[in-house]
Amino acid sequence: MRKLSERAFAIMAVCEETKRYFGITVDEDGWDQYRFVWAFKIDRDKGKKEGYDSKTVTGSVTLDDEYPGCPYCGEKRFYICQCGKIVCYHGQSRVTCPNCGQSGTLERVEKIDLKGGGY
């Protein structure tokens, strides 16, 4: 894993296939630019206790060359539900968020809101 900046933080995500939660290490890559660097298994309650939902940022996201994807299904693609949760995306035309149950179709955006915290 590459060396992280002091501005790195972690966010919570959920696997669309297994419905299990995991963390993503995010590093700042410039003004309003963020990079998903690593993904790791973590219990939802522990992530909340660690403060992985205590910081909100807005910007564009890219994937680090070493980003392994979801630790459960291996998928690197994702969508962000209206509830704010990052969810693995497997190319389906209609999605259902495993966090809140909302269903719908997706639209591409240039900038997103990330809510995270310490790592």
Q: pLDDT band for position 118 (50/70/90)?
A: low
8 Å CB contact between 33 and 94: no
Reported pTM = 0.85
Which 3 state secondary structure label does DSSP give 115? strand
Mean pLDDT value across the chain: 87
The 10s digit of each residue's pLDDT in 58-115 is 888 889 999 999 999 999 999 988 888 899 999 998 999 999 999 999 877 666 566 6
Q: At 48, give phi and psi (nearest 5°).
A: -65, -45
Supply 1's token pair. 């894993």
